[in-house]
Amino acid sequence: MPRDETDDIEAILAVTNTDTSEVEHAVPDASDAMFTWDYQKGKRPRLAQLYEKAKVSMWNAETDLDWETEVDQEAVVMANPALAGGNGVGMDLTGTAFAKWGDKEWLRFGVEGQNWTLSQFLHGEQGALVCTAKIVESVPWVDAKYFASTQVMDEARHVEVFSRYLDTKLSGHYPINAHLRLLLDDIVADNRWDMTYLGMQVMVEGLALAAFGFLRQLTTEPLLREILRLVMADEARHVAFGVLSLGEYYQHLSASEIRERQEFAFEAAVRMRDRFLQQEVFERMGVPVKEAVSLVMQSPERLVFQSMLFSKIVPNCAKLGLLDAGDGWLRQRFGELGVLGFESWPTGEEPEA
Ligand SMILES: [Fe+2]
Ligand SMILES: [Fe+2]
């Protein structure tokens, strides 16, 4: 798809969740459920090592977090305007709906932004829960089934903590962003087991790990900082699980099959970078969404955030050989996005060989 069509603001905004009252969402999934009769544990020693680590790293949302912590959402926003998009500082807002905004509106925008962000974390975590359950079913290796089953439990706890945080500490929920939903739908609907890994463990979780780290650095709220610390420790194992499994599997794929994986990775990255724009917050704030989104795209914070999102994805794609496979198609594309600088950044999650 040519970029000028898919990334046109009108086209981005035309994709919405039409039924926001929907409580259940079904995605057809035609993958094979795989049994293996080869039960020999530890054939893939690094996966076995991750499995052992996961078993002793489980925390309990009920007892390991201080839910008595008082959260003053407005104080959190005021302590760090960068989290709310910098309050328009450094941008020319003349003639836009934002020109009329005073402190009250910017504060509300910051609060809604938190509600939106944590809501998307929650929905993304459910995506991970569903995808990992699918991996348990579809991956043919017993060591991978073992590890994936621990990840199912991890993701259940992640859904649990973000849901509780939203319900008891914040001030409202948002439905899943339509572009995030379409990406999750595509990942779940793909019947090739390795695509679940690439979509979820490498792309979505790589992005989430970067976003969690960014938020944890910026926020002053101690309960959220602790939640993110616990979740990030789990996510690091999950990303490593993806890189280890795919690293082995990709050695057996043909050039054209690898090219499909490159295209899938690139499309997922662009979807999240260019189309995941807090559209729903502007709608709720009653400002013209198209104008707001165009401004957001130019804000200095947005640029930093956008490229930071690639800080795990690019080095992991490099480790998987996806950057240079074929004629270096993905290296070329990531180069155009200006994110190749992350190529040799440490991801630092893999256990020793
Ligand atoms: Fe998670
Ligand atoms: Fe995860």
Asked if residue 325 is part of any domain, the answer here is yes
What domain range is 163 assigned to?
46-87+97-342
Asked if residue 27 is part of any domain, the answer here is no
Whether 113 and 84 have beta carbons less than 8 Å apart is answered as yes
Per-residue pLDDT, 82: 67
Asked if residue 81 is part of any domain, the answer here is yes
Per-residue pLDDT, 348: 56
228-253: burial string, b at 16+ Cβ within 10 Å, e else: bebbeebbbbbbbbbbbbbeebbeee
3 alpha carbon – ligand 1 mean position (Å): 30
Per-residue pLDDT, 351: 43
In the numeric block, which tokens belong to residue 340?
Answer: 């190749």
What is the 3 state secondary structure string of 294-316? HHHHHCHHHHHHHHHCCCCHHHH
d(CA 163, CA 123) in angstroms, rounded, equals: 9
Q: Which ligand ends up closest to the CA of 158? A: 1
* pTM (predicted TM-score): 0.93
Asked if residue 266 is part of any domain, the answer here is yes
346 alpha carbon – ligand 2 mean position (Å): 19
Most distant pair of Cα atoms in the chain: their distance: 68
pLDDT in tens, 222-248: 999 999 999 999 998 998 999 999 999
d(CA 104, CA 96) in angstroms, rounded, equals: 17
303 alpha carbon – ligand 2 mean position (Å): 25
Radius of gyration of the chain (CA): 20
Contacts of 348 (CB under 8 A, 6+ apart): 236
105 alpha carbon – ligand 1 mean position (Å): 32
d(CA 109, CA 116) in angstroms, rounded, equals: 10
128 alpha carbon – ligand 1 mean position (Å): 6
Asked if residue 1 is part of any domain, the answer here is no
Domain count, the chain: 1
Point out the residues of the chain with pLDDT beneath 70.
1-7, 18, 81-89, 348-353
pLDDT in tens, 128-162: 999 999 999 999 999 999 999 999 999 999 999 99
156 alpha carbon – ligand 1 mean position (Å): 8
Asked if residue 39 is part of any domain, the answer here is no
Asked if residue 16 is part of any domain, the answer here is no
Asked if residue 315 is part of any domain, the answer here is yes
Please tell me whether residue 143 adopts helix, strand or coil conformation. Answer: helix
Question: Which CATH number do you get for residue 337?
Answer: 1.10.620.20
Whether 27 and 188 have beta carbons less than 8 Å apart is answered as yes
100 alpha carbon – ligand 1 mean position (Å): 39
Whether 112 and 86 have beta carbons less than 8 Å apart is answered as no
